[in-house]
Amino acid sequence: MAKEFGAKTTTDEVLEGVNLKGKRILVTGVSAGLGVETARALAAHGADVVGTARDLKKAEGATAEVRKAAAENGGSFAVVEMDLANLASVRKCADALNAKGDTFDVVIANAGVMATPKGFTSDGFETQFGTNHLGHFVFVNRIAGLIKDGGRLVNLSSAGHRFSDVNLDDINFEKSEYVPFLAYGRSKTANIQFAVGFDARHKARGVRATAVHPGGIQTELGRHMSQADFDGFLENMRKQREAAGLPPFEFKTIPQGSATSVWAAVVADADAVGAHYCEDCHVAKLVSPSEDLMSGGVYSYALDAAKAEALWKKSEELVGETF
């Protein structure tokens, strides 16, 4: 009988008894939090893991446990430089990987930023959309040929996708007031729609793409929030859950938060998760906007194939490349 996993399941529990020897997995954003734990768990089960990081020195310091886990369990770990907020850096990294030619069984698009002050990437895109979506859009598409037939793409999204659908007519908030969490929501919806679009293009060769919500975790992702903003966010959440008759919100640990990424990458049935959104180590249900933000589930616009296609075409237009 299949193991039952849930919100409190950790990476080590998901991977219990799983041998990843010979599997090559790429994880973006391995200088902190979920990326480090995801890489550690995979390497601890024998996988050869390649991580990307904007700051190589920071990543080297943060991944000592990953290297130790790899050495002790027959895996390997290496870090390459890539700044998702700079498409020249993204293209350079992708070109280097393509030139090397090593293939991957899984790509986990883990890196991201949240609730940043209004700003722009090196290429002039709103910071969160440019980093969380467009950086990964260019990177993953440029190395798509390195993903083995039967491989997977896992995009880290968030329950924050429920803050907003993507607004293709106002990517940079030129027509509306910039709201940090609204911008975050747009970028996280884009992560899901990108998975839907990628899955449609590659499933004929067995490559499936999915998006995952790790859960509420206290990591560096929240570094742009003031304590007052953070406290207000938690209080609003408490009121919402109380009104909905839900139990108090509990933060996940980092190993619990990384579990869904690992589950979707190497444990779940590929056809079950392809073109879907997952949370708490299962495929999420569709929910309506009337339901509490933190009660789980995915909004239909995030999985809409037509919206995914529109985002794909707009993204190609913005980055000046066709995939």
Domain ranges of the chain: 11-318
Q: Which two tokens stand for residue 201?
A: 């293009």
Where are the alpha helices (H) located in the chain, listed in sequence order?
Answer: 11-14, 33-43, 56-62, 64-73, 87-100, 127-128, 136-142, 180-202, 227-243, 254-262, 270-273, 305-319
Q: Consecutive sets of 10 residues in the chain, 323 residues long: mean pLDDT of each?
A: 85 98 98 97 98 97 98 98 98 98 98 96 98 98 98 97 96 97 97 98 98 80 58 62 67 94 98 98 90 77 98 98 98
Whether 76 sits among the annotated catalytic residues: the reply is no
Q: How far apart are CA 131 and CA 114, in angstroms?
A: 10
Whether pTM > 0.85 for this model: the answer is: yes
Neighbours of 91 (CB within 10 A): 16
Beta sheet of 282-283, edge-to-edge order: 76-81, 48-53, 24-28, 104-109, 147-156, 208-213, 277-279, 282-283
Cβ distance 215 to 221 under 8 Å? no
User: Any idea what DSSP says for residue 217?
Assistant: B
Side chain identity at residue 146, one-letter code: L
Tokens for 193? 């729609």
For residue 163, the Cα-to-chain-centroid distance in whole angstroms is 17
Contact between 82 and 90 under an 8 Å Cβ cutoff? The reply is: yes
Output the 3-class SS for 251-281. Answer: CECHHHHHHHHHHHHHHCCHHHHCCCEEECC
Neighbouring-strand partners of residue 110: none
Q: Among 7, 35, 43, which residue's Cα sits nearest to residue 266?
A: 43
Q: HSE on the CB side for 39, CA within 13 Å?
A: 34
Q: Tell me which residue of 198, 185, 176, 171 sits closest to 273, measured CA to CA.
A: 198
Catalytic residue among 23, 188, 252, 307: 188
Distance separating alpha carbons of residues 40 and 43, to the nearest angstrom: 5
Report helix, strand or coil for 161. helix
Q: What DSSP character marks residue 4?
A: P
Tell me: domain 11-318, CATH 3.40.50.720, correct? yes
First to last CA, the chain: 41
The answer to whether 8 is a known catalytic residue is no
Amino acid at 203: K
- Residue of 312, 135, 170 lying closest to 127 (CA atoms): 135
pLDDT, position 1: 43
Of 23, 89, 184, 187, which residue is the catalytic one? Answer: 184
Rounded CA separation 204/163 (Å): 33
Q: How many CB atoms lie within 10 A of CB 290?
A: 6
User: Of 157, 158, 187, 261, which is the active-site residue?
Assistant: 157
- Determine the length of the chain: 323
In angstroms, the CA 69 to CA 38 distance is: 12
Between CA 8 and CA 313 the distance in angstroms is: 38
Contact 67, 79 (CB under 8 A): no
21 included as an active-site residue:
no
